[in-house]
Amino acid sequence: MFNNVIVARLTGILLFGTIIFSAGAETLPAQLVQLVQDAATAQLQRDADAHGWLAPKFDVNVVHGSRPLAACAQAVTVQTTDARQPTRMRMLAVCPGADGWKYEFIVRALVSAEVVVTTQDIPAGKVFEADDLALERHDISGIGDSVNDVQAALGLRGRRSLRGGDVLRLGVLAQPEVVLRGQMVRIVARREQIEVSMSGEALDNGARDAIVRVRNASGTVIRARVKGAGLVEPADMPASTQSPG
């Protein structure tokens, strides 16, 4: 396992997903490890940019097997073959030419960034408020859907209970339920300039745009789309762009 201890004058070029580094006319074994490390770091930075990670930091270590590292008479190219998990990335180094070779490296990286965490225990279904969340640096090497904006999470709710200090993940966020089972709701059907409404009882909980069952005043159970607090419209009608008035 090699740490980032080798300093080399290298030029990195990002081209079609392949990191091409030029190390002069010949690439030495020690330079090869550095090339792989630089390519892995560049890949992680691309991932960070794509996910919008805040102030990311990378600790990158290159692992190779028992096969001896050979020098290359030409510049070696290094490409990422698997970057799904930062803790186990696969990188392929290629030495071109008739006497060239290919060598696969495993890269183990730790990634940290400033992400949204809970400041206290939060029960499932509670709508997040400003005091519930904060930005903290955290290891996200195994977390692919961390949230990095406190404001974006405010007003949403958690699908499950969370403990203080948990990293907030997109998968646990949901819109707040604005219609509750047993609640009296107003069913509004609108087409062009004609609007008809009647009362009903919600048989399911639902967030905005969710489909719930509603029993109307005639006793018929219909499928309805939630449009707002206590407001629904028949689900078999085209979705309106505005909440009924």
Query: Domains, the chain, ranges and CATH?
Result: 11-111 (3.10.129), 113-174 (3.90.1210.10), 177-234 (2.30.30.760)
- Per the CB < 8 A criterion, the answer to whether 98 and 72 are in contact is no
pLDDT in tens, 131-188: 999 999 999 999 989 999 999 999 999 999 999 999 999 999 999 988 999 999 999 9
Handedness of CA 108, 173, 244, 199 (dihedral sign): positive
66 or 99: whose pLDDT is higher? 99
How would you label 200-234 residue by residue, b for 16+ Cβ within 10 Å and e otherwise? bbbbbbbebebebbbebeeeeebebbbbeeebbbe
The pLDDT > 70 percentage for the chain reads: 86
82 is written with which tokens? 């698997």
The residue with tokens 């290359």 is 72
pLDDT band at 240 (very low <50, low <70, confident <90, very high): low
Mean pLDDT over the full length of the chain: 85
Mean pLDDT of 114-120: 97
pLDDT band at 239 (very low <50, low <70, confident <90, very high): low
pLDDT of 67 strictly over 90: no
Looking at residue 99, its pLDDT comes to 86
- Per the CB < 8 A criterion, the answer to whether 203 and 213 are in contact is yes
The pLDDT > 90 percentage for the chain reads: 67
Phi/psi for 87 (5° steps) reads -75, -10
Looking at residue 190, its pLDDT comes to 85
Cβ-defined contacts of 1-5 (< 8 Å, 24+): 1/61, 1/62, 1/63, 1/108, 2/33, 2/37, 2/61, 2/62, 3/61, 4/34, 4/37, 4/60
pLDDT of 210 strictly over 60: yes
Listed in sequence order, the residues at least 6 apart from 219 whose beta carbon sits closer than 8 Å to its beta carbon are: none
pLDDT in tens, 68-91: 888 888 889 999 999 999 999 999
162 is written with which tokens? 């969370």
Tell me how far the alpha carbon of residue 186 is from its chain's centroid: 37
Looking at residue 238, its pLDDT comes to 61
